[in-house]
Amino acid sequence: MTEAPLGLLAELTHRCPLHCPYCSNPVELVTRADELDTLTWQRVFDEARELGVLQMHMSGGEPLARPDLPELLGHASGLGCYTNLVTSGLGLTAERLADLVDRGLDHVQLSVQDSDRANANLIAGVKAYDRKLTAARLIKDAGVAFTVNAVMHKANLDHIGGIIALAEEMDADRLELANTQYYGWALRNRAALLPTREQLAAAGPVVRRAQERLAGRMEIVYVIADYHEANPKPCMYGWGSRQLTVAPNGDVLPCPAASVITSLPVQNVARSSLSEIWYGSETFNAFRGTEWMREPCRSCPRKEIDFGGCRCQAFQLTGDAAATDPVCTLSPDHGLVQDILATEIVETRPAFAMRRSV
Ligand code: FES
């Protein structure tokens, strides 16, 4: 039986002041003219709550680019939901944050690009580092729960200890160190982002020692670099099982990257309710449970652990969203990943293709 979703990722806008090469938003961004308006977002939040959603993540792009963010966040909080602001920190002021807290903001997730100022600014494509230090102080002063998120790749993995120290200085409650996932814009930059095995081998013990040292003070979550792993990641804990994403134009997706799967119909809040989409749509039912699986997943003892891996990755690499994730060593397509690792990991990092905003 299909259970209700726990969370809604509301991508309020694709507009963003940063230009990060690892951005996993689609190559074609939604323009401001095509963004949902305030009333439609509020209706979407109503439908999400009726569906059972308890956590609303205001994301983007940069959600602070929406002047109606306070109304939207207040509406979500008024429905009894836990609210999370996922932000670059650029555009955050003491006044704006106090207003959001007044309206029920529970948690802020702040991105950082590196602990080295020059390198952080290079990766962000803008002088963002010092503004993030300021944003972190504002968030701590406001007293809301605070997560720092850093996307890890070839150009910052060697600084992982410094990034942990930066999060400690910021006094974060939680640190997410997430190796890059190659979707959307990030796929274009894969050769510039893929770390070496030596970099990953050196980073692992640094993270484990910090996890032990900081236990009870700052939780550290480390998201593995899946191309280098033997088993695929349990993407989204299974397709259409826990969370749904609404893109800035109202497209409803089983995961933030699912617009890459062009073989599935696109759902939109203008045409159907969230409940119809979650329970009844072809797109959300396509890979639920284990019945859709073929071999080697169908008879695999790990099929309820990793759910066949990532559907978006399977589609991107093989053209078939129902294929076993090629990251899995049992996949008949695993050679594709081995070829990528053999050819794209190079000594000198290629230049980044920086993200341009809409
Ligand atoms: Fe879409 Fe993994 S990112 S299923």
Please give the structure tokens belonging to residue 180. Answer: 């890059």
* Residue 81, marked binder: no
Specify the ligand 1 atom closest to the Cα of 312.
Answer: 1
pLDDT(122) > 90: yes
- Band of residue 20 on the pLDDT scale cut at 50, 70, 90: very high
- Determine whether the shortest distance from the Cβ of 312 to ligand 1 is under 6 A: yes
* Residue 20, marked binder: yes
In this structure, the strands spanning 251-253 and 55-59 are unpaired
* Residue 300, marked binder: no
**Sheet-wide strand order for 82-87:** 219-223, 174-179, 145-152, 107-112, 82-87, 55-59, 7-11, 243-246, 251-253, 267-268
Mean pLDDT, to the nearest integer, of 93-115?
Answer: 98
Predicted confidence (pLDDT) per residue in 306-353, tens digit: 998 999 999 999 999 999 999 999 999 999 999 999 999 988 899 999
pLDDT(65) > 90: yes
pLDDT of residue 107: 98
Return the percentage of the chain with pLDDT > 90, whole number: 97
ipTM of the complex model: 0.92
- Band of residue 89 on the pLDDT scale cut at 50, 70, 90: very high
Cα–Cα distances in angstroms (integers) from residue 255 to residues 192, 283, 350, in the given order: 25, 11, 29
Higher-confidence residue of 328 and 356: namely 328
User: How many Å lie between the centroid of ligand 1 and the Cα of residue 202?
Assistant: 27
Q: Do the Cβ atoms of 322 and 298 come closer than 8 Å?
A: no
Specify the ligand 1 atom closest to the Cα of 239.
Answer: 4
- Determine whether the shortest distance from the Cβ of 186 to ligand 1 is under 6 A: no
309: left (phi over 0), alpha (psi -120 to 50) or beta: left
Predicted confidence (pLDDT) per residue in 132-159, tens digit: 999 999 999 999 999 999 999 999 999 9
Residue 101 identity (one-letter amino acid): V
pLDDT of residue 346: 87
In this structure, the strands spanning 82-87 and 267-268 are unpaired
pLDDT(358) > 90: no
Predicted confidence (pLDDT) per residue in 203-262, tens digit: 999 999 999 999 999 999 999 999 999 999 999 999 999 999 999 999 999 999 999 999
For 19-23, 56-60, 81-85, 353-357, which range has the lowest pLDDT when averaged over its residues?
353-357
pLDDT of residue 347: 83
- Band of residue 357 on the pLDDT scale cut at 50, 70, 90: confident
Q: Which of 295, 287, 299 is nearest to 324 (CA)?
A: 295
Q: pTM (2 decimals)?
A: 0.96
Mean of pLDDT over the chain = 96
